Amino acid sequence: AQSVAQPEDQVNVAEGNPLTVKCTYSVSGNPYLFWYVQYPNRGLQFLLKYITGDNLVKGSYGFEAEFNKSQTSFHLKKPSALVSDSALYFCAVRAPSNDYKLSFGAGTTVTVRA
């Protein structure tokens, strides 16, 4: 079985401040982890992934995420948030034994105020 939890429905930050969106997962074996962003009336856009290797992965638009195996977490971070980062963010996991089926979290709405 595989699952993802995003414990915060909403995150509010001021522009220029650090942004963190939390994600924890449950999976058998080493996970494949993904972050996606969804803007209003649009599909999901891929931000970054962790497959293997360095625990800190860098992605699009200045985002990064840190894989922590002991805490089963994959939190998304951005050092300095922009108003344009306001969107819905999804974490997703796939067990390596599972070829294709992703499990998504419920999503976290990020609001960055000017």
Partner 1 sequence: GAGVSQSPSNKVTEKGKDVELRCDPISGHTALYWYRQRLGQGLEFLIYFQGNSAPDKSGLPSDRFSAERTGESVSTLTIQRTQQEDSAVYLCASSLAPGTGGARQPQHFGDGTRLSIL
Structure tokens that stand for 85 in this block: 């980062």
Residue 42 contacts partner 1 per CB under 8 A: yes
x/- map, 10-29, partner 1, by CB under 8 A: --------------------
Is the separation of the CB atoms in 90 and 107 below 8 Å? Answer: yes
Structure tokens that stand for 99 in this block: 């070829």
Cβ at position 67, least distance to partner 1 in Å: 14
x/- map, 70-109, partner 1, by CB under 8 A: --------------------x---x-x--xxxx-xxxx--
Distances (CA, A) of 44 to 34, 63, 88, 104: 11, 15, 9, 11
Residue 44 contacts partner 1 per CB under 8 A: yes
